[in-house]
């Protein structure tokens, strides 16, 4: 896709974004890891179509995502999810490809081979239908999942928790964000998946560990909360503590549910403790949770308890917590200051 001549779209010409005064329909594609997804969203909030093809079953047999296989599966699914998203939009409100305001795609962070499939599809659609292209950061997109079907407006404090990231983010405006703290080692989702593997749960371990934790005693074992400066986190020591605990029991007698519940208690209280400090210091009255781990029952429970202290709490419904393209479309609408170069490249790690 290199060196294709850019057509210059300007925001004045293509009226887009919350201040444009025009209805926008953005089609977005997401393929950063193991979900191939396509969605059409009206004005950043109203989901017209939302299609996700998950590869979980394929990767489960290997105990984790195999990048090469994931990229090939994206290739198999990409045209199907795009067609289905167009079909749903046509059937529900009569929207055709020519009515799409702009085409967006996730540029990173993620698995490069996977990102290339979705991004090139988004670019091809933009070129084919002669519309602007918008490249979207996957982490920003997770935050924007909270704009879907809600009236949330910045400023707010956000906790972003996924398989690759753990961050407290001060969202000052639609396009201005400041990362206040992050993990210095494992991300929360990564810690969940690693601990799940330690106790013999199949991939993806996070949701399974969560389920078992709900049946255990969260105070059965006191696990160490890492002492890290400011709003930063560390979860690798906790993982080692769980390993030690697991080894202290004969396999048949391992109190799996209590270990899960104690781990979940330690993680959720660490996260919410620091998040609460950040909100109090900011003076904001709104708090948001995002990312795949935002599906976690105990983290949700503890964050929603902040409603009793007068805060508005937002957490996406499950379908917008894990990877999807509706959040990417919303992000393209709210975060876009300019359109992107059609030669924009993918990136694997946070820049």
In the complex, residue closest to ligand KG4 by CB: 292
* Residue 24 interacting with ligand KG4 (CB under 6 A): no
CB of 47 to Zn ion, least distance (A): 17
Cα gap 34→77, rounded to integer Å = 11
Q: Which is closer to ligand KG4, CB of 43 or CB of 166?
A: 166
Contact residues toward Zn ion (CB under 5 A) are 162, 323
Of residues 32-91, those binding ligand KG4 (CB under 6 A): 33
Return the number of other C-beta atoms located less than 10 Å from residue 41's C-beta: 30
143 burial class (0-12, 13-18, 19+ CB within 10 angstroms)? buried
Cα gap 276→55, rounded to integer Å = 35
Using the rule CB under 6 A, give the single segment among 21-29, 129-137, 204-212, 241-249 that binds ligand KG4: 204-212
CB of 285 to ligand KG4, least distance (A): 26
Partner whose binding site includes residue 189, from Zn ion, ligand KG4, none (CB under 5 to 8 Å by kind):
ligand KG4
- 282-305: buried (b, 16+ CB within 10 Å) or exposed (e) per residue? bebebbbbbbbbbbbebbbebbee
Partner whose binding site includes residue 108, from Zn ion, ligand KG4, none (CB under 5 to 8 Å by kind):
none
Q: Print the binding letters for residues 102-131 with ligand KG4: x by CB under 6 A, - otherwise.
A: ------------------------------
CB of 313 to ligand KG4, least distance (A): 17
Cα gap 41→45, rounded to integer Å = 7
* Residue 189 interacting with ligand KG4 (CB under 6 A): yes
Q: Which is closer to ligand KG4, CB of 145 or CB of 181?
A: 145
Nearest-10 crossing angle of helices 205-213, 297-304: 60
| Nearest CA-CA partner of 328 in 106, 52, 100 | 106
Tell which one of 192, 284, 320, 333 touches ligand KG4 (CB under 6 A): 192
Tell which one of 114, 121, 212, 295 touches ligand KG4 (CB under 6 A): 295
Of residues 143-182, those binding ligand KG4 (CB under 6 A): 162-164
CB of 209 to ligand KG4, least distance (A): 6
DSSP string, 128-179: HTT--EEEEEHHHHHHHGGGTTS---S-EEEEEE-SS-EEEEEE-SSS-EEE
Q: Which is closer to Zn ion, CB of 265 or CB of 323?
A: 323
Query: In the chain, where does DSSP find H-type helix?
Result: 56-60, 67-93, 112-128, 138-144, 188-198, 205-213, 236-247, 256-282, 297-304, 318-321, 326-335
* Residue 193 interacting with ligand KG4 (CB under 6 A): yes
Residue numbers of the site for ligand KG4 (CB under 6 A)? 33, 162-164, 189, 192-193, 204-207, 210, 291-293, 295-296, 322-323
């Amino acid at each position: 896709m290199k060196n294709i001549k850019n057509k210059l779209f300007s925001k004045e010409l293509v009226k887009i974004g919350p201040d444009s005064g025009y209805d926008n329909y953005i089609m977005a594609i997401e393929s950063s890891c193991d979900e191939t997804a396509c969605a059409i969203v009206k004005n950043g909030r109203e989901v017209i179509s939302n299609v996700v093809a998950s590869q979980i079953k394929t990767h489960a047999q290997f105990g984790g995502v195999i990048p090469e296989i994931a990229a090939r599966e994206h290739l198999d699914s990409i045209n199907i999810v795009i067609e289905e998203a167009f079909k749903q939009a046509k059937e529900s409100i009569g929207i055709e490809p020519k009515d799409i305001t702009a085409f967006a795609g996730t540029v990173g962070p993620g698995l490069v081979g996977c990102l290339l499939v979705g991004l090139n599809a988004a670019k091809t659609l933009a070129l084919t239908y002669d519309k602007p292209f918008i490249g979207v950061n996957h982490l920003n997109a997770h935050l924007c999942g909270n704009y879907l079907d809600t009236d949330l407006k910045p400023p707010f404090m956000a906790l972003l928790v996924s398989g690759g990231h753990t961050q407290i983010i001060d969202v000052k405006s639609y396009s201005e964000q400041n990362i206040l703290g992050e993990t210095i080692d494992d991300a929360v989702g990564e810690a969940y998946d690693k601990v799940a593997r330690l106790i013999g749960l199949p991939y993806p371990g996070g949701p399974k560990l969560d389920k078992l934790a709900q049946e255990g005693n969260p105070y059965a074992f006191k696990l160490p909360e890492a002492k890290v400066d400011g709003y930063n986190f560390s979860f690798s020591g906790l993982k080692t503590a769980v390993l030690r605990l697991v080894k202290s029991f004969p396999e048949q007698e391992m109190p799996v549910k209590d270990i899960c519940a104690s781990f979940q208690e330690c993680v959720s209280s660490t996260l919410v403790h620091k998040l609460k400090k950040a909100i109090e210091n900011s003076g904001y009255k709104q708090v948001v949770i995002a990312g795949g781990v935002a599906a976690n029952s105990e983290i949700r429970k503890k964050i929603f308890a902040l409603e009793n202290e007068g805060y508005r709490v937002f957490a996406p419904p499950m379908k917008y917590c894990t990877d999807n393209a509706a959040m990417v479309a919303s992000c393209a609408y709210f975060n876009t200051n300019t359109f992107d170069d059609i030669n924009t490249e993918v990136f694997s790690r946070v820049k």
